[in-house]
């Protein structure tokens, strides 16, 4: 190959890197986000075309891989329901991780006598990619309800994880110091298995409510794994794109942790104390006041300002369309309607925003917690739909509560709080919620979607 064409390929990589950076920048602004995604997709296309001009590609396999992968991706993206979006993102993220893992394996398989630098990159790509893959699969299972969302603990779990980490370090050191040969391959296979095990045993003790943090962190991992793969094939575009994703994932992880007032370590390891912490919670005194949809209708009919707080329960009941209909009816009735969204409501960062957007709720009606809390006292009715921990006043009032200090939406400060809930069961954190027995709280028991539809029907009849 001539120097000239290599320069063109390099220019392609530079163009791709710039498009990724601009694309991510645009993704951060609502009005330009969609174009930002297209810009970054264009960058990806340029990077793929550029690498196709590099030497020695086997085009039968390349085309086979590209066609099969594109078809699966296309069908999956077209058919996935909006309510299943968290698990879809988890699954796709896992695929990115396994790709880095396999690139590392291929390199070890084909060139076992590489330089020390590449060896370290292979080890990191396999380790981080493997954790991202198996961790994402477990997260997928939890989000899709295929495995229990509650923290799962095996006896001596903490020691098991420490043992896996220690074994990984020993294998990693052996991989660097051993000469190539069949024995080294055995160590490498062991290292791969341990990496996958670390992802499984690391994520499985984490509860479903903490999944927003876990997904953001795994997203960061798959980016860093891609970056490590970039060090293997000595390619700048992988390093740039991978580390951009790695950094952004870490920032998102930090934002999620802050929204729960917990440290990352607490999220990752709190499952270990799951049993002891629930026993220590104080029980709440008082009786909840259940009402019928008809009574709720009279309350809403008179309301001039309404704030709707959606939670995971809305996603489970797939009530977002019914909720939007109720919101529109309330608006036509002369009320000002806003949706207050807690950063960790649902199972993915921004989960509720996606569902409400799917139901055609206007972007401007979606408000963040910090914008709603100061005006909560002027709100006539706050409707809590399938949310629990994110509106729990215990976070402000009860110092012994496990969620004390977590920023919450102050639903209890509205004149009336309507709570749509399936039963009196505690939320995901297993914490009692004093909101339900407050003087101004009214409970509407039942499936969120059915209840909202009943409310809509009450408005239409009158």
Partner 1 sequence: MSIGLLIFVFVLAIFLGVELISKVPSQLHTPLMSGTNAISGIVIVGALTATGSGADLLGTLLGTAALIFATVNVVGGYLVTNRMLAMFKLRGREKK
Residue numbers annotated as active site: 389
Instruction: Judge whether 338 and 380 are in contact, CB under 8 Å.
Output: no
Q: Which of 1, 54, 173, 282 binds partner 1 (CB under 8 A)?
A: 54
- Name which of 342, 343, 128, 121 is nearest 219 in CA terms: 128
Residue 312 contacts partner 1 per CB under 8 A: no
**DSSP tag of 446:** S
**Residue 338 or 351 with smaller CB distance to partner 1:** 351
Q: Is the dihedral angle over the CA atoms 37, 39, 40, 44 positive or is it negative?
A: positive
CA distance 132 to 200: 10
The two structure tokens encoding residue 26: 């645009």
| From candidates 1, 8, 11, 52, binder to partner 1 by CB under 8 A | 52
Q: Any contact of residue 302 with partner 1 (CB under 8 A)?
A: no
CA atoms of 140 and 343, how far apart (whole Å): 20
Contact between 80 and partner 1 (CB under 8 A)? Answer: yes
The Cα 60–Cα 62 span in angstroms is 6
Check residue 387 and give left, alpha or beta (phi > 0: left; psi -120 to 50: alpha).
Answer: beta
Q: Does residue 374 belong to the site contacting partner 1 (CB under 8 A)?
A: no
Give dist(CA 212, CA 253) in Å, integer. Answer: 8
Beta carbons of 441 and 412 less than 8 angstroms apart: yes
Site for partner 1 in 90-119 (CB under 8 A): 92-93, 95-96, 98-103, 105-107, 109-111, 117
With respect to partner 1, which residue has the nearer C-beta, 261 or 454? Answer: 261
Q: How many Å from the N-terminal Cα to the C-terminal Cα in the chain?
A: 78
Nearer to partner 1 (CB atom), residue 85 or residue 306: 85
Read off φ and ψ for residue 310, nearest 5 degrees: -85, 155
**What span, in angstroms and rounded, lies between the C-alpha atoms of 342 and 346?**
9
Is 148:205 a contact under the CB 8 Å cutoff? no
Q: Are strands 366-368 and 381-385 parallel, antiparallel or unpaired?
A: unpaired
Please state the three-class secondary structure of 275-315 as a single string: HHHHHCCCCCCCCCCECCHHHHHHHHHCCCEEEEEECHHHH
Residues 196-215 that bind partner 1 (CB under 8 A): 215
CB of 443 to partner 1, least distance (A): 28
List 15, 18, 37, 291, residue binding partner 1 (CB under 8 A): 37
Of the ranges 163-171, 183-191, 233-241, 445-453, which one interacts with partner 1 (CB under 8 A)? 233-241
351 belongs to the binding site for partner 1 (CB under 8 A): yes
Among 139, 143, 203, 232, binds partner 1 (CB under 8 A): 232
Write down the least CB distance from residue 221 to partner 1, Å: 9
Q: Measured between alpha carbons, how far is residue 364 from residues 338, 339, 340, 361 in Å? A: 9, 9, 11, 9
* Residue 354 touching partner 1 (CB under 8 A): yes
401 binds partner 1 (CB under 8 A): no
Mask for 244-273, x = binds partner 1 (CB under 8 A): xxxxxxxxx--x------------------
182 binds partner 1 (CB under 8 A): no
**Judged by CB under 8 A, which stretch of 77-85, 298-306, 393-401, 444-452 contacts partner 1?**
77-85
Interface with partner 1 in residues 124-163 (CB under 8 A): none
Of 55 and 425, the one with the shorter C-beta distance to partner 1 is 55
Which two structure tokens, joined as six digits, stand for 446?
Answer: 């039942």
Among 206, 225, 337, 395, binds partner 1 (CB under 8 A): 225
Query: For residues 325-344, which are near partner 1 according to CB under 8 A?
Result: 341, 343
User: What is the biggest distance separating any 2 CA atoms in the chain, rounded to whole angstroms?
Assistant: 83
Q: Measured at the alpha carbon of residue 24, what is the angle toward residues 20 and 28, in degrees to the nearest 5? A: 165
Stretch that binds partner 1, among 68-76, 279-287, 418-426, 428-436 (CB under 8 A): 68-76
Chain centroid, CA 85 distance in Å: 9
231 lies in the binding site for partner 1 (CB under 8 A): yes
Rounded to a whole number of angstroms, the minimum distance from the CB of residue 84 to partner 1 is 11
- Of the listed pieces 143-151, 182-190, 240-248, 412-420, which binds partner 1 according to CB under 8 A? 240-248
Q: Does 12 bind partner 1 (CB under 8 A)?
A: no
76 binds partner 1 (CB under 8 A): yes
Q: What are the tokens at 128?
A: 């981080």
Minimum distance from residue 266 beta carbon to partner 1 (Å): 20
Q: Which is nearer to partner 1, 33 or 275 (CB)?
A: 33
């Amino acid at each position: 190959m001539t120097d000239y064409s290599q320069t063109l390929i390099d220019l392609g990589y530079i163009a791709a890197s710039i498009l990724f950076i601009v694309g991510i920048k645009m993704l951060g602004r609502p009005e330009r986000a969609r174009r930002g995604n297209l810009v970054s997709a264009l960058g990806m296309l340029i990077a793929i075309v550029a690498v196709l001009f590099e030497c020695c590609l086997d085009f039968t396999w390349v085309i086979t891989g590209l066609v099969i992968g594109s078809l699966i991706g296309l069908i999956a993206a077209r058919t996935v329901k909006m309510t299943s979006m968290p698990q879809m993102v988890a699954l796709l993220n896992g695929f990115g991780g396994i790709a880095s893992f396999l690139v590392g394996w291929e390199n070890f398989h084909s060139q076992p006598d590489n330089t020390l630098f590449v060896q370290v990159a292979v080890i990191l790509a396999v380790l981080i990619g493997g954790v991202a893959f198996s961790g994402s699969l477990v997260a997928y299972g939890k989000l899709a309800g295929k495995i229990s969302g509650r923290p799962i603990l095996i006896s001596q779990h903490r020691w098991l994880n420490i043992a896996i980490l220690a074994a990984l370090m020993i294998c990693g050191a052996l991989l660097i110091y051993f000469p190539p040969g069949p024995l080294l391959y055995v160590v490498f296979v062991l290292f791969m298995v341990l990496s996958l095990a670390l992802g499984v045993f690391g994520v499985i003790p984490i509860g479903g409510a903490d999944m927003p943090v876990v997904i953001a962190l795994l997203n960061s991992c798959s980016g860093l794994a891609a970056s490590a793969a970039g060090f293997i094939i000595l390619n700048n575009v992988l390093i740039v794109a991978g580390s951009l994703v790695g950094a952004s994932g870490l920032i998102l992880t930090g934002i999620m942790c802050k929204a729960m007032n917990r440290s990352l370590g607490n999220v990752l390891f709190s499952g270990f104390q799951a049993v002891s912490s629930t026993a220590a919670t104080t029980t709440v005194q008082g009786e909840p006041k259940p009402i019928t949809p008809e009574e709720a209708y009279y309350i809403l009919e008179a309301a001039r300002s309404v704030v709707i707080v959606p939670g995971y329960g809305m996603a489970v009941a797939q009530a977002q369309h019914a909720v939007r209909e109720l919101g529109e009816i309330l608006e036509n009735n002369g009320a000002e309607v806003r949706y207050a969204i807690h950063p960790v409501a649902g199972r993915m960062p921004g989960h509720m925003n996606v569902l409400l957007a799917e139901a055609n709720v206007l972007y401007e009606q979606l408000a963040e917690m910090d914008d709603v809390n100061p005006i909560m006292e002027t709100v006539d009715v706050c409707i809590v739909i399938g949310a629990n921990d994110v509106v729990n006043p215990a976070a402000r009032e009860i110092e012994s509560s496990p969620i004390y200090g977590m920023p919450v939406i102050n639903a209890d400060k509205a004149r009336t709080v309507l709570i749509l809930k399936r039963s009196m069961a505690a939320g995901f954190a297993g914490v009692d919620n004093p909101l339900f027995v407050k003087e101004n709280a009214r409970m509407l028991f039942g499936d969120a979607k059915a209840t909202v539809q009943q409310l809509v029907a009450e408005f239409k009849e009158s």
